Amino acid sequence: MKRKITLKDIARELEVSISTVSKALKNSEEIGIDTKDKVQAFAKLYNYRPNNIALSLKNKRTKNIGVVIPDIVHYFFTTVFRGIEQYSNQKGYNVIVCVSDESFDKEVINTELLANGSIDGFVMSLSAETQRKGDFHHLLEITEQGIPLVLFDRVDDKVSCDKVILNDTEIAYQAVKKFLANGRKNIALVTTESYFNVSEKRAEGYEEALSEANIPARPELKLVLPFRDVNESEIRQFFGTAKIDAVLCVNEIFAVQCMAVVQKMGMKIPDDIAFIGFTDGILSKYVQPTLTTVAQHGERMGEVAAEMLIERIEAEIDEEKPFRTKIVEGTIIERESTVN
């Protein structure tokens, strides 16, 4: 008996990407005829069967929800998962969580693993690689099969589904206005690569507040860091070459790293330089000085996402509701990094 194989097995054997295999099996015009023939022949030889839970969704429910998060390092994602689990358990649903580790391939594998009849719907935040590649075929396949999907935080307009987001632009605007009200003029932005939708929205709020105060957004006051493996020397060079008296960081990890560097360089926080970071996590409360943060209310975001998903799951089969985007309002929590 031939063993059961997965998209990952086919991709490895034929030395192509998981995305290519998936598209070839769907007979996509994006894939060349030779590649499609090779993939389809291999799949037939090993009796590959694509996951399809559309029929099972029409006939029964598993009372399981699949959750895919980008990582477990960022405190925010753990709080969102807690909110999803608490609400889902109250409604009689179990939660199965997978971590994409910011990888497109792992995200595809996770969705394949879960979409095999064992879950009723997905809650997901896009991985860094998925946003960079702009390839959402695996999510489009899910929605085309009638499997409910809710995206949170990291979302994309190309995927038609329910979404839950933070008011990123508005709350970043408010953070910069707070700096300006305290007499700060040389305000820097420490952010990620532009393909992160949340970072782009926060940058828009930063620039809007500066523009309103007739202060140009200067390129030398913007530091773009990788989402992992940050080099301290890059941070040191940035703060050593530009005159900066305040910094907005798009996450608390960046903020804590930058605070440590500037203090090593002899600057005093907040006297010489003030900091605000996103995510009101454990780091923010215990770093010295404590960090002023934008609380993203992850548990609330998780509750809203779970509520929207379960409403979709339990809706009548022929009941079509327009997709909605719900916004969770962030809150600025002041601590020692902005207040003496």
**Portion of the chain with pLDDT greater than 70, in percent:** 94
Tell me the per-residue pLDDT of 206-234, one tens digit each, with 9 for 90 and over. 999 999 999 999 999 999 999 888 889 99
Mean pLDDT to the nearest integer, 96-123: 92
The 3-class secondary structure across the chain, one letter per residue, is CCCCCCHHHHHHHHCCCHHHHHHHHCCCCCCCHHHHHHHHHHHHHCCCCCCCCHHHHHHCCCCEEEEEECCCCCHHHHHHHHHHHHHHHHCCCEEEEEECCCCHHHHHHHHHHHCCCCCCEEEECCCHHHHHHCCCHHHHHHHHCCCCEEEECCCCCCCCCEEEEECHHHHHHHHHHHHHHCCCCCEEEEECCCCCHHHHHHHHHHHHHHHHCCCCCCHHHEEECCCCCCCHHHHHHHHHHCCCCEEEECCHHHHHHHHHHHHHCCCCCCCCCEEEEECCCHHHHHCCCCCEEEECCHHHHHHHHHHHHHHHHHCCCCCCCCCCEEEECCEEECCCCCCC
Question: For residue 208, what pLDDT is reported?
Answer: 98
- Work out the pLDDT band at 62, boundaries 50, 70, 90: confident
Question: For residue 59, what pLDDT is reported?
Answer: 45
**Portion of the chain with pLDDT greater than 90, in percent:** 74
The model's pTM:
0.82
Question: For residue 2, what pLDDT is reported?
Answer: 43
Check residues 24 and 70 and name the one with the higher pLDDT.
70
Check residues 73 and 135 and name the one with the higher pLDDT.
135
Nearest to 46 by CA among 77, 74, 7: 7
CA distance 204 to 175: 12
| CA angle, residues 23, 196, 73, in degrees to nearest 5 | 100
Tell me the per-residue pLDDT of 181-207, one tens digit each, with 9 for 90 and over. 999 999 999 999 989 999 999 999 999
Tell me the per-residue pLDDT of 294-307, one tens digit each, with 9 for 90 and over. 999 999 999 999 99
Tell me the per-residue pLDDT of 117-163, one tens digit each, with 9 for 90 and over. 789 999 999 999 999 999 999 999 888 888 999 999 999 999 999 99
Structure tokens, 73: 């390092």
Q: For residue 60, how far is the Cα from the chain centroid?
A: 31
Tell me the per-residue pLDDT of 242-254, one tens digit each, with 9 for 90 and over. 999 999 999 999 9
Averaged pLDDT of the chain: 91
